[in-house]
Amino acid sequence: MTALLSDTALIFGRYARQTLRSRFQILFGVLMPLLYLLFFGPLLTGLPLGGAGDSWQVLVPGLLLQLALFGALFAGFSVIVEKQLGVVERMRVTPVSRPALLLGRVLRDAALLVLQAVLLVLAALLMGLRAPLAGVVIGFAFVAVLTIALASLSYALALKVATPQEFGPTINAVSMPSMLLSGLMLPMALAPGWLDVLSHFVPFRYLVDAVRAGYVGDYAGTAMLYGVLMAVALTLISVTVGTRVFRKAGA
Amino acid sequence: MPIISTAGLARTFQTKNGPVEAVRGIDLTVRPGEIIGFLGPNGAGKTTTLRMLTTLLPPTGGAATVAGFDLEREPEAVRRKIGYVAQAGGVDPQISVREELVTQGRLYGLGRTAALDRAGELARDLGLVELLDRPCGALSGGQRRRLDIALGLIHRPKVLFLDEPTTGLDPGSRADLWDLIRSIRERHGTTVFLTTHYLDEADELSDRLIVVDRGVVVAEGTPSALKRAYAGSPDATLQDTFLAITGRGIAPGDATPVAV
């Protein structure tokens, strides 16, 4: 257990330093949601979005999870590069804990995406967002948890596929429908019945609804409950799958 | 007591076109302190065997012990005793030489101070002192290779596996690397198990050669014994010997002088 913790810290440190060396990497991820915030957000002010709170309280939670969704799902690309450099193999012949190779990486991703989420919320405050602090903090927690879950799956996939050409399209095939069907941009309250029903099969929908509830100060409702349950389930499954793949690959 | 011994070690890959027997049954023993040249034509099963012996690939048949531990049941104990330098090397070009060495030491369980000390010690032994603060990507081919070997030696392994250690190096760097490998064995008694495509390298460096073809060991012995047995004279070239053993060259294009 102590080996797992110290090895996780070691791997986290390696990749955190790698991230800190590249300011570009730190800021680039926040660019897409920031563009939505600046050029899409203002279109929504004044529209009836069918829920509590103003348009910023609806949009910003969606953008936060969009940030986590895309940032985490594409995290695996780094493993593909490292596979080609031989770094993955070199680490696998050492006695380092196999789960630590995964956990150190996903914790780095969670830290990076929460930092980007903070930057995004600061920008949103300038644009006119007003939300309770506890809700905002809950939003960051959801970003961290979603990142841990999706980055685990992304790394597992990256370890399994033979080429980057297989990885990119697979990730796109997951990320785009997930974004559209979970009501990240506009709440599913606006959707016709069939679309609303369909979106209930997309786990991210519950996470978005929970963060939106947090942003209007509703911490004890069913939206928050379902969001937390879904986030926990998603994380348990994803980390289990991820560690299994990392263990097996190191056999 | 051999430091490596295998019995019927085999690996079959399941592919779309049915099973492929990459390694059909390798029997070999290596004594402590030997330098073994592991040779074979492309596709003979060299790399697959090496990947099994270094715990990267689980065998589908047979058994092996490496450095006193069973490969299948105690892979983690094996990992603590062996160093492996892959062809690709495996360093991040952005990271400094010092950081890669220290991280490698810590991956093997050294504390921060011990890892720093060991990195400094290896840097002195392998001529990397001036390079410690450079990013790995800025090193020359020969320097990179010395770094790769330093990474493989960080935990003082009993066995060092080298996968085509001098591929891509200029003649001077190759000769330096041969000296380095010999001195590692001399000073620490490290067993060295290396694959190579260069017959002059095998001849020059190895105490004993093990030749594989089509997934099995087809010949083994000292270079001169093999030359006598297969090419009729201890003065024969290893190239002729190799052709006599396998019926084909070691690699396409090997009819031309090796390693220029």
What is the residue type of B131? Answer: L
Give the residue from B50, B78, B107 with the most A CB atoms within 10 Å of its CB, the best one to mutate: B107
- Considering only the beta carbons, identify the residue of B56, B91, B106 that sits closest to A93: B56
Q: Please indicate, yes or no, if residue B260 is contained in any of the structural domains.
A: no
Q: Please indicate, yes or no, if residue B253 is contained in any of the structural domains.
A: no
Nearest-CA distance A248 → chain B (Å): 10
Coil, helix or strand at residue B192: strand
pLDDT at position B80 over 70: yes
Residue B256: the pLDDT is 44
Percent of chain A at pLDDT exceeding 70 = 99
Distance, CA of A134 to chain centre: 20
Q: Determine, for residues B151 and A90 on separate chains, whether the beta-carbon distance falls below 8 Å.
A: yes
Give the residue from A19, A90, A247 with the most B CB atoms within 10 Å of its CB, the best one to mutate: A90
Which chain A residue has its CA at the smallest distance from B152's CA? A90
Nearest-CA distance A153 → chain B (Å): 22
Which spans in A74-97 are helix H? Answer: 77-85, 87-92
Q: Give me the mean pLDDT over the B94-123 stretch.
A: 95
Residue B114: the pLDDT is 96
- Chain B residue numbers touching A89 (CB-CB < 8 A): 56, 86, 88, 90
Percentages helix, strand, coil for chain B, rounded to the nearest 5? 40, 25, 35
Residue B173: the pLDDT is 87
- What ranges do the domains of chain A cover? 2-249
Q: Determine, for residues B75 and A10 on separate chains, whether the beta-carbon distance falls below 8 Å.
A: no
- Under the banding of pLDDT at 50, 70 and 90, the label for residue B249 is low
**What ipTM goes with this model?**
0.86
Residue B258: the pLDDT is 43
CA-angle at B35, arms to B52 and B246, nearest 5°: 70
pLDDT at position B61 over 90: yes
Residue B198: the pLDDT is 83
Residue B250: the pLDDT is 59
Q: Determine, for residues A95 and B76 on separate chains, whether the beta-carbon distance falls below 8 Å.
A: yes
Percent of chain B at pLDDT exceeding 70 = 95
Q: Is A187 left (phi over 0), alpha (psi -120 to 50) or beta?
A: beta
Q: Give me the mean pLDDT over the B42-54 stretch.
A: 91
pLDDT one-digit tens code per residue, A169-199: 999 999 988 888 998 888 888 888 899 999 9
pTM: 0.89
- Chain A residue numbers touching B103 (CB-CB < 8 A): 10, 14
Q: Give me the mean pLDDT over the B197-222 stretch.
A: 90
pLDDT one-digit tens code per residue, A105-114: 999 999 999 9
- Structural domains counted in chain B: 1
CA atoms within 13 A on the CB side of B170: 5
Q: Give me the mean pLDDT over the A64-79 stretch.
A: 94
Q: Which DSSP string do the residues of A189-235 spell out, in sequence order? A: GGS-HHHHHHHTTSHHHHHHHHHHHHHTT--SSHHHHHHHHHHHHHH
pLDDT at position B1 over 60: yes
Q: Determine, for residues B82 and A93 on separate chains, whether the beta-carbon distance falls below 8 Å.
A: yes
Residues 88-107 of B with CB under 8 A from A: 88-95, 99, 103-104, 106-107
Nearest-CA distance B81 → chain A (Å): 10
Q: Determine, for residues A87 and B151 on separate chains, whether the beta-carbon distance falls below 8 Å.
A: no
Residue A154: the pLDDT is 96
Residue B260: the pLDDT is 38
Buried b (16+ CB within 10 A) or exposed e, A16-27: bebbeeeeeeee
Q: Determine, for residues B92 and A93 on separate chains, whether the beta-carbon distance falls below 8 Å.
A: no
Residue B59 belongs to a domain with what CATH number?
A: 3.40.50.300
pLDDT at position A202 over 70: yes
Residue B251: the pLDDT is 54
- Under the banding of pLDDT at 50, 70 and 90, the label for residue B239 is confident
The Cα-based distances of A182 to B166, B237, B257 in angstroms read: 54, 70, 64
- Under the banding of pLDDT at 50, 70 and 90, the label for residue A132 is very high
B60 inside 8 A of chain A by CB? no
pLDDT mean across residues, chain A: 92
Q: Determine, for residues A84 and B88 on separate chains, whether the beta-carbon distance falls below 8 Å.
A: yes
Q: Determine, for residues B90 and A84 on separate chains, whether the beta-carbon distance falls below 8 Å.
A: no
pLDDT at position B200 over 90: no
Q: Give me the mean pLDDT over the A48-67 stretch.
A: 89
Percent of chain A at pLDDT exceeding 90 = 73
More confident residue, B199 or A39: A39
Spatial distance between the Cα atoms of B192 and B37, rounded to a whole number of angstroms: 9
pLDDT at position B237 over 90: no
pLDDT mean across residues, chain B: 90
Burial-class residue B241 by CB neighbours within 10 Å (0-12, 13-18, 19+): buried
- Chain B residue numbers touching A91 (CB-CB < 8 A): 90, 107
More confident residue, A242 or A24: A242
Q: Determine, for residues B107 and A89 on separate chains, whether the beta-carbon distance falls below 8 Å.
A: no
Q: Give me the mean pLDDT over the A128-142 stretch.
A: 96
Q: Please indicate, yes or no, if residue B106 is contained in any of the structural domains.
A: no
Give the residue numbers spanning the domain of B201: 4-89+156-246
More confident residue, A26 or A122: A122
A194 touches A81 (CB < 8 A): no
Structure tokens at B148: 């790769």
